[in-house]
Structure 1
């Protein structure tokens, strides 16, 4: 197998760390999901991550982020399967393996959009696992900072069909202007009945973002964050024709029977319907 880990952009390298967390969760007897490919992604890409010792600050950042990563993975799994849309788009799909590990209804077409080098690494690893998608998987190599809509349409995306959009772990890495531009394009491509979901924080001092910034030596990750829409995402969506709803991570975790930390009420998810 030829991998391209060293060519992965800094933001995309964080997906390797997320894969490690998904692999760990998948091995728990009380796991909230099973991702059989996460460990392979981590092993193939671990060279791009900084060394992590048991007592290192990087380990501390991972410990902080783990509950959020696990809860959001399961929440977005459920969101996509319950959306009832035959067309699904994962923006900045990274090392997401939902096309392979979820039980999609017949006729589902799933588009994964990401940078060419990210998708090349992903497909290299999946090839070693003899992975077979459980839906029609369409890979779209595009930069979300450029005209990705044209590439998506050229790959067979139909804007007349209601779509379930997932923007997982992305908006915080974008400036407000870029986040607004991305969501504006999503709206332009969405038929009535389409849905979109992503993380949402209140901006509270005790929220996950603030706590991560305060984690010693966590700058390799937090320095990449640009804030996205911040706490105003529901208002922005409502002003642009969507009907948003929010839920806290604590509420979601309670529904899954998983204890959450004391600060989980400051963070959560937004889902909107057009």
Structure 2
């Protein structure tokens, strides 16, 4: 809903790619609230497992102009190879000077996966207290992932990353409490990258 809640330059078009059901839910909910986008909004209802680059181009994306991409809360829900493919496609669609903001799943190579699944079961139990009925452990993908910064740099991006704990401190926000879990949300790294072609 960034097109609705952020200030945008007057000539900006925001392309939003998401599952068709998610786009429909957002549109219905926001219209019911009387919300209006603050920029031209072009929704692209498509599953990322399909040919989303073609759908985006068909919707009017101009690949000859710099693009600002946001991929937040996404990579953990993609298999490792799909994460790489998404970054390859973003690069192929991007002109010189394009920017990318994304977050990366913490390195799970040294994690006890049984312990991580138990942590996710506890998270699921907390969400179920609020009426959500799904299993968090079933949403993510295990397996070794490419390091996002290195992968992007090899594609021609200049990438800078900061862990969530540092971003919180830099903005005067409280730290995430320490946990006994092998991986913490505080270990999530946010990246900003600029493409040089």
| Same-fold call, TM cutoff 0.5 | yes
Aligned pair partner of 1:258 in 141, 152, 173: 173
Which residue of 2 is the match for residue 222 of structure 1? Answer: 137
Structure 2, unmatched stretches of 5+, are 125-134, 179-183
Aligned residues: 177
Taking the TM superposition and a 5 Å limit, the aligned residue runs for 1:99-178 are 99-178=3-82
**Is 1:273 paired with 2:194?**
yes
**Is 1:243 paired with 2:158?**
yes
Q: Output the CA distance in 2 between the equivalents of 1:224 and 1:162.
A: 32
Alignment root-mean-square deviation, CA: 2.5
Following TM superposition, by how much is the alpha carbon of 1:206 offset from its aligned partner in structure 2, in angstroms? 10
Following TM superposition, by how much is the alpha carbon of 1:101 offset from its aligned partner in structure 2, in angstroms? 1.1
Structure 1, unmatched stretches of 5+, are 1-96
**Is 1:200 paired with 2:104?**
yes
Which residue of 2 is the match for residue 56 of structure 1? Answer: none
Q: Output the CA distance in 2 between the equivalents of 1:212 and 1:127.
A: 39
Judged with a 3 Å threshold, the aligned counterparts in structure 2 of structure 1 residues 184 and 134 are, in CA distance, closer, same or farther, namely: same
Judged with a 3 Å threshold, the aligned counterparts in structure 2 of structure 1 residues 264 and 114 are, in CA distance, closer, same or farther, namely: closer
> 3-state DSSP class of the match of 2:169?
helix
**TM-score in terms of structure 2 length:** 0.80
**TM-score in terms of structure 1 length:** 0.59
> 3-state DSSP class of the match of 2:8?
coil
Q: Output the CA distance in 2 between the equivalents of 1:238 and 1:155.
A: 29
Judged with a 3 Å threshold, the aligned counterparts in structure 2 of structure 1 residues 133 and 212 are, in CA distance, closer, same or farther, namely: farther
Q: Output the CA distance in 1 between the equivalents of 2:5 and 2:115.
A: 32
Q: Which has the higher helix share?
A: 1
> 3-state DSSP class of the match of 2:147?
helix
Which residue of 1 is the match for residue 149 of structure 2? Answer: 234
Divergent runs of 4+, >4 A: 204-207, 209-212
Higher relative contact order (CA 8 A, sep 6+): 2
> 3-state DSSP class of the match of 1:192?
coil
Deviations 1:20-58 (A, max 9, x none): xxxxxxxxxxxxxxxxxxxxxxxxxxxxxxxxxxxxxxx
